[in-house]
Chain A
Amino acid sequence: MVISVFGYIRPYMPALSEADQKRYRAHYCGLCRTLYTRFGLKGQAFLNYDMTFLSMLLASLYEPAETLRTASCVPHPVRRHEEVISPASDYAADMTILLAYFKACDDRQDEKKASGWATTRLLGEAFRNVSAQYPNQTVHISECMQQIRKAETATDTQPEAIAAFSGEILAAIFPWKPDDFWARDLARFGSLLGQYVYWLDAVVDDRHDLKHHCYNPLHVLGVHAQDMHPVLLQNISQAAELFETWPLVQDLDILRNIVYQGVWQAYNQVLRKEGVPVDP
C-alpha cells in the first residue's frame, strides 16, 4: 500500500487539556459532518485522524470563518457534541475522498483486493467531482503512484526512493491554494510528514510482513524497529522546524501536541511490544 494515510498523525490525548481535547474532537466531528454533507454516508467511511490534522492546520494557518454547531449523530445519539466546520474542513474532506480513491486503485491493481474494486465503484462519482476541482493534486498523486509502482517492480530500487515518492503524495495534498504564499512550505511539510509516515508504517508492519513474506523496506535495509528512531526523528524534526516558522495561533497547543508527541505513539507502542527499552 502506498497511500500514506494510516491514522498516525493524531494527538496524544493525555497531554491535552480538557478544553483542547474537546476542541480536537470538534474538528474531528466537524470533518465527519462535512464528509457526510458533501459525499453522504460513503464519505464518512473514510474519516481519519490524518485529514483531521490537515483540516486543523489549514484552519490555523488561514483562519477562515468557522461555524461551531452542537449536534448529536448516529454513533453518539445521546450526548450532543461540538462540530467545527469551515472551508478548511471542506478541503480536507475533498482530499479524504481523493486519497481514499487512489488507495482503492492501488489495492485493486497491486493487491487485487475486492475492497479496492468496491471502493472505486462507490467513490467514482465523488472522485470525478473532486479531481475536476483539484486537477493539480490529482495529477500529482497519480504520477507519484506510477513512479512508486515502477520503483517497486524494478530490481534494485532503494526504499528511500519509494519513501520520497510517498512523501510527495502528502506534498500534493497539503497546499490548499496552489498560487499562495504558503504553498511551497505546506508542500515541503507534507513531503517530510509523508516520509515520516512511510517509515513508521514500515516499522508497524515489520513483524506482520516478515511472517507473511511481504515486502518491507526494513527487511531490504537489514534494520529493525529500534534502528529507525533517528530516521523518523530526522523527518519529523525538519517538519517541526518548518511548522514553527508559521504564524499559527489558533489551536497551536493541539497542533504542537500532534507534531511533538502524538505522531510517536505508534512507534513507541511497537518498541514496547518488542521489549526494547526506551531512553528517558
Chain B
Amino acid sequence: MFPLIRDPYQVLGIQRGATEDEIKKAYRKKAKECHPDMHPDDPDATQKMNEVNEAYDMLMHPEKYRGSQIPWQNGQSGTQGDPFQGTNPFYTYTTSGAQGWNPFGDFFGGSPFYTTPPVQDEPGDSPQLQAVVTALQRRDYRLAMQILTGMPQEQRTARWHYLMALVHEGSRNPGSAQIEIRRAIELDPNNLVYRQVLERYTHAAEPYAQRSHGSYRQVIDPRMLIGTFCLPMLFCRFGFCCC
C-alpha cells in the first residue's frame, strides 16, 4: 500500500493524541479550506483534498494501514507485509468519472477490510460444503452464497446454516448472519464454535447499547404519526395543532 501522505497529524494540523472530536473538527476545517469547489482555478486542489481525506481515514481507520509504509505509526515503517495485496483502497476524490465501488457489483463481494474468522473443512463435509469453505477462505462470498442456496432443503444442516452465517457476515448482512447462526445453534445446541460466533456478534453490538445507555429499548413517541405517504396540505406530520 502506498499512501499519499506520511503524517496525517501534520496534514490535519493537530497534535498526536488528539481526540476523535478534535480530529473530526480539524477535518471539517481543512475540508472547508481545501475543497476543490472553493478553489476552481487551483490544479492542486483535488490532490490536497485527497490528502486531507486520507489523513482523516488513517486516523479513524488505523487497522486499514497495518503493514503499509507509514513511518508515522510508532515511528517505524510497516514490516508485516501488505494485507491488502498492493491495492489502493482509497476511493479518491476526482473531478470526473465514477471510480471504484459499484454497489450492485459489490453485492455479496464483501469488504476488503473486513474478514470473517478462519474457517476450515470438517470431516463429513460434502464436496459442496468444501467448495463453500474454499470460497469463504478466498472471501468470494458471492460464490459461497450461490453454492449454499443451490443445495436442497434436506442438506441444510446446522453446518450449512453456520457457513451461511459466515457468508452473510462477510457480505455485511449482520441481521441475516444473526438469524443463520441462531438456526445453526437450534439444530446443534452443543456446538461451541457456533455459540462463540453468536457471542462475538452480541459483543460487537455492545458499544451501541452503551452509547444509547440502553434507552433504545424504551422509546415510543406517540406524537409523531407513522403512515404511508399522504398529502402534506391535508396531513403534515407535525400536526394540525402547530399552526
- A residues contacting B by CB (< 8 A) are 6-8, 10, 12-15, 25, 28, 32, 41, 44-49, 63, 74-79, 100, 136, 139-140, 143-144, 156, 158, 160-161, 163-164, 167-168, 171-172, 175, 178-184, 187-188, 191-192, 195-196, 199, 221, 230-238, 240-241, 244-249, 256, 260-262, 264-266, 268-269, 272, 278-280
Looking across the interface, which residue of chain A has its beta carbon closest to that of B89? A184
- Residues of chain B at interface, number, CB under 8 A: 79
User: What is the bound-complex CA distance between A76 and B208, given in angstroms?
Assistant: 38
Q: A7-B227, A74-B233, A236-B208 are in contact. Are A167 and B173 (CB under 8 A)?
A: yes
For A238, list chain B residues within 8 Å (CB). 172, 174, 204
A-B contact pairs, 19 of them (CB 8 A): A7-B227, A12-B221, A25-B238, A28-B238, A160-B179, A164-B108, A179-B93, A181-B93, A191-B103, A221-B179, A232-B175, A234-B175, A237-B174, A241-B208, A246-B24, A247-B28, A260-B216, A278-B217, A280-B217
Contacts of B177 in A (CB 8 A): 234
Q: Determine the chain B residues whose CB is within 8 A of the CB of A246 once the complex forms.
A: 24
Across-interface contacts of A140 in B (CB, < 8 A)? 103-104
Which residues of chain B are near A280, meaning CB under 8 Å? Answer: 214, 217-218
Residue of B nearest to A264 (CB): B216
Q: Are B227 and A260 in contact (CB under 8 A)?
A: no
B96 proximity list for chain A (CB < 8 A): 179
Q: Do B233 and A75 touch across chains, with their CB atoms under 8 A apart?
A: yes
User: Is there contact, CB below 8 Å, between A268 and B220?
Assistant: yes
Instruction: List 6 tightest A-B contacts by C-beta distance, closest first.
Output: A237-B208, A160-B176, A234-B174, A260-B212, A247-B24, A237-B205
Q: Determine the chain A residues whose CB is within 8 A of the CB of B201 once the complex forms.
A: 230, 234
A89 to B54, CA, bound (A): 27
Q: How far is A237 from B94 in the complex, measured between Cα atoms in Å?
A: 31
In whole angstroms, how far apart are the Cα atoms of A245 and B53 in the complex? 12
Interface SS of A by simple majority? helix
In the complex with contacts A12-B219, A163-B173, A261-B61 CB distance below 8 A: no
The listed residue (B50, B92, B171, B229) touching A164 by CB distance below 8 A is: B171
Look across to chain B and name the residue whose beta carbon is closest to the beta carbon of A13: B221
Does A181 lie within 8 Å of B97, measured CB to CB? no
A188 touches B219 (CB 8 A): no
Indicate with 1 or 0, residue by residue over B177-192, a CB within 8 angstroms of chain A CB atoms: 1111010000000000
A199 touching B238 by the CB < 8 A rule? no
- The answer to whether B230 has its CB under 8 Å from any CB of chain A is yes
Provide the bound-state CA to CA distance between A240 and B111, in Å. Answer: 17
Q: Are B238 and A143 in contact (CB under 8 A)?
A: no
Contact A13 B224, CB 8 Å, known A156-B153, A163-B176, A237-B205: yes
Given A181-B90, A265-B219, also A46-B229 (CB < 8 A): yes
CA–CA, A136 and B98, complex, Å: 10
Q: Chain A residues with Cβ under 8 A from B91's Cβ?
A: 180-184
Q: Are B217 and A187 in contact (CB under 8 A)?
A: no
Residues of chain A within 8 A (CB-CB) of B92 are 181
* Bound complex: CA A32 to CA B232 (Å): 8
**Cα A85 to Cα B100 with chains together (Å):** 31
**B173 to A76, Cβ gap below 8 A?**
no
Q: Is the CB of A247 within 8 A of B27?
A: yes
Inside 8 A of B32's CB, which chain A residues have their CB? 63
A191–B177 alpha-carbon span in the complex (Å): 14
